[in-house]
Amino acid sequence: MLLLYEYDIFWAFLIISSLIPILTFFLSEVLAPSRKGPEKLSSYESGIEPIGDAWLQFRIRYYMFALVFVVFDIETVFLYPWAMSFDVLGLSVFLEAFIFVIILIVGSFYAWRKGALEWS
């Protein structure tokens, strides 16, 4: 027997959290003034007339550095709650967290060997 009525609050929050951004974008489009002209459509670079094309290719190294930062940021997010409840969780969770950290160390060593952490 499915007890779908227990999920009413979930569906209410899902609908509300979906409608708020949609309504915000719609209202900003309707209420915001839009006066487009050549000055408004031109790029602004500290008061200096832009030279050349606005399209620039970034080196992949910047993206790799950002991805390595995100990996270590996520590691902190996952390990902090584990560290706060370490005494309650037991040995099996300690081993799982240890394996998680080992995988991250191997990944960071791989990124270091590939040169993803070098700026030059």
CATH assignment, 4-114: 1.20.58
Give 2's pLDDT tier (boundaries 50, 70, 90): low
Mean pLDDT of 1-17: 81
pTM above 0.85, yes or no: no
Mention every residue, 6+ apart, whose C-beta is less than 8 A from residue 118: 61
pLDDT at 23: 96
Hey, where are the domains in the chain? Answer: 4-114
pLDDT at 21: 94
Which of 11-25, 33-47, 49-63, 91-105 has the highest mean predicted lDDT (pLDDT)?
11-25
Q: How far apart are CA 47 and CA 39, in angstroms?
A: 12
Mean pLDDT of 89-113: 85
